[in-house]
Amino acid sequence: MSKRPRIDLLAFARDPHGELARARRTGEVAEGEPFPAVISHAGVRQALGDRRVRPNFNDAIARFGVTSGPFYEWMRYSPLNTDGEEHRRFRALMARTFTPRSVEALRPVLESAAHELIDGFAPRGACEFVAEFADLLPSLGLCELIGVPRADRDRFRAWANAIGLGFNPLELPLHLAEVDAALVELLAYAGWLLAERRREPRDDLVTRIARAGETDGFPDEQLRGFVAGLVFAGHETTKNQLGWMVAVLAERPAVWEAVARDPALVPGAVEEVLRYRSTATSVIREASEPLEIAGRAFGAGEPFLVSLWSANHDERVWGEDTDLDLDAERRDPHFAFGHGAHHCLGAALARAELREALRALTRRLTCPVVEEGAAWRPPVGINGPLRLPLRFRARV
């Protein structure tokens, strides 16, 4: 049997996609530290859909020195870290809210909000896109969909930004105190909001979560964690994906202008950006019993990385040229939102936010140029721009 590829961490940090492409040329599973990585499209699909594979976030972050504290405890009972019947009960609780119909009803709100944000910087011909757009739009859709008061969005946006550091293993040990402090405040807020909905019920997701303690037996600690998780995930991932979308298309003026001329191209452009640069780079999983993935045996309890970035560029599926291409026929699914039981609950909302943002931005602005001073998070966990200064012209 041929020797498996190995991912060099220093090379990966310098050029993650180049290092992954090199590894894919000689195998579907790469060895490396601290975990081996499944890097093929077929292997990732199997790993995320196999009942013998489970999440174990706490063991993963323990390898980076995080073994206690509010964030560690929150993740122990987070739906991101559960499986089986408990996870199915959580998904059933959320199902009535995260529906195509409920998201479709939000489109006018998202469209109006996108244009209002653009009004704030279009006349200047420049903006810092993360602070002036990407960090603001997701919280508006989330407020409407799950029932968080709009007046509180600035507070939970700040909490979500801090907690987001917890999902990047290179950042978490450096910012653990900040992550823990933000989570404590967010969980306290979630407890207050649940109490409010018990006193004054509404037709929203927070009210249904509040009732779930009585009807479905979820403990209050877990209910607070549900609300906190929704506030975090619904904001942080879409914020980063908005940044990626603009950064990728800023390098492709012809695509930007094509979308501006024909808004019917927007859904396809969003899907290609999701495939080409998803904000979720990878997830950690472990084998619950011995199994084989892409020819590599994993023992019970053995952790491994599932590389979404690599699967979304696998030449065996996408062809030798995996660059962004609006004209390509993409028959296979990308994994920007995961796959299987843990497929992203908010995928429909994220897609709606990305599409309305792209329609508004291409309609109002010429293709932006990324200015000096752009900064990015490390290429692991949740990834995206920290700062994205842009220059452009407002369309007449």
Q: What is the pLDDT of residues 134-176, one digit of tens each?
A: 999 998 888 888 888 888 888 888 998 999 889 888 889 999 9
Phi and psi torsions of 344, nearest 5°: -55, 125
CA–CA separation, 110 and 102 (whole Å) = 13
All structural domains of the chain, each given as residue ranges with its CATH number in brackets, are 9-391 (1.10.630.10)
Residue 350, pLDDT above cutoff 90? yes
Show Cβ contacts of residue 228 under 8 Å, excluding neighbours closer than 6 positions: 74, 183, 186, 187, 190
By CB neighbour count within 10 A (0-12 exposed, 13-18 middle, 19+ buried), where does 297 fall? exposed
CA–CA separation, 64 and 33 (whole Å) = 12
CA dihedral 287, 291, 293, 294 (to 10 degrees): 160
Find out whether 20 and 5 touch, Cβ atoms under 8 Å: no
pTM: 0.94
Q: What is the pLDDT of residues 276-290, one digit of tens each?
A: 999 999 999 999 999
Residue 260, pLDDT above cutoff 90? yes
CA–CA separation, 228 and 77 (whole Å) = 12
Task: Classify the phi-psi angles of 373: left when phi > 0, otherwise alpha if psi is within -120 to 50, otherwise beta.
Answer: left
Residue 6, pLDDT above cutoff 60? yes
